[in-house]
């Protein structure tokens, strides 16, 4: 399965001019993940339902005041749940 998304970030900082500055960022990401079925005889296949429960796990940054360079690393926990909807006939009581 391919998980794609856009990470929306907003950086606020106080510049050398003493004013607060804002820089919005949109970063595209894409990751191919392997779905391991609970039952190997029933692998995930096209048409199944998927729910994305991904979240930001951590954000690490370093700022170099001499160069003004900001280095950022974002760790995203990609978690996908795959389900299948089935209609079953049951006997009336």
Number of domains, the chain: 1
Determine contact, residues 9/27, Cβ cutoff 8 Å: yes
Domain annotation covers residue 33? yes
pLDDT tens digits along 12-46: 988 889 999 999 999 999 988 888 888 888 888 88
In DSSP terms, 6 is beta-bridged to 28
Domain annotation covers residue 55? yes
Domain annotation covers residue 22? yes
This prediction's pTM:
0.65
Tokens at 39, concatenated: 């039952």
- Tell me the C-alpha to C-alpha distance, in Å, between residue 57 and each of 30, 42, 75: 16, 31, 5
Q: CA-to-CA distance for 8 and 27, rounded, in angstroms?
A: 7
In DSSP terms, 9 is beta-bridged to 25
Domain that holds residue 47: 2-83
Domain annotation covers residue 11? yes
Domain annotation covers residue 89? no
């Amino acid at each position: 399965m391919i998980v794609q998304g856009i990470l929306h970030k907003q950086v606020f900082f106080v510049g050398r001019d003493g004013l607060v500055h804002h820089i919005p960022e949109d970063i595209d990401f894409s990751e191919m993940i392997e779905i391991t079925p609970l039952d190997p005889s029933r692998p995930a296949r096209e048409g199944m339902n998927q729910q994305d429960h991904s979240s930001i796990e951590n954000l690490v940054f370093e700022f170099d005041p001499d160069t003004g360079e900001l280095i950022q690393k974002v760790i995203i926990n990609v978690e996908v749940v795959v389900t299948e909807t089935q209609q079953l006939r049951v006997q009336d009581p």
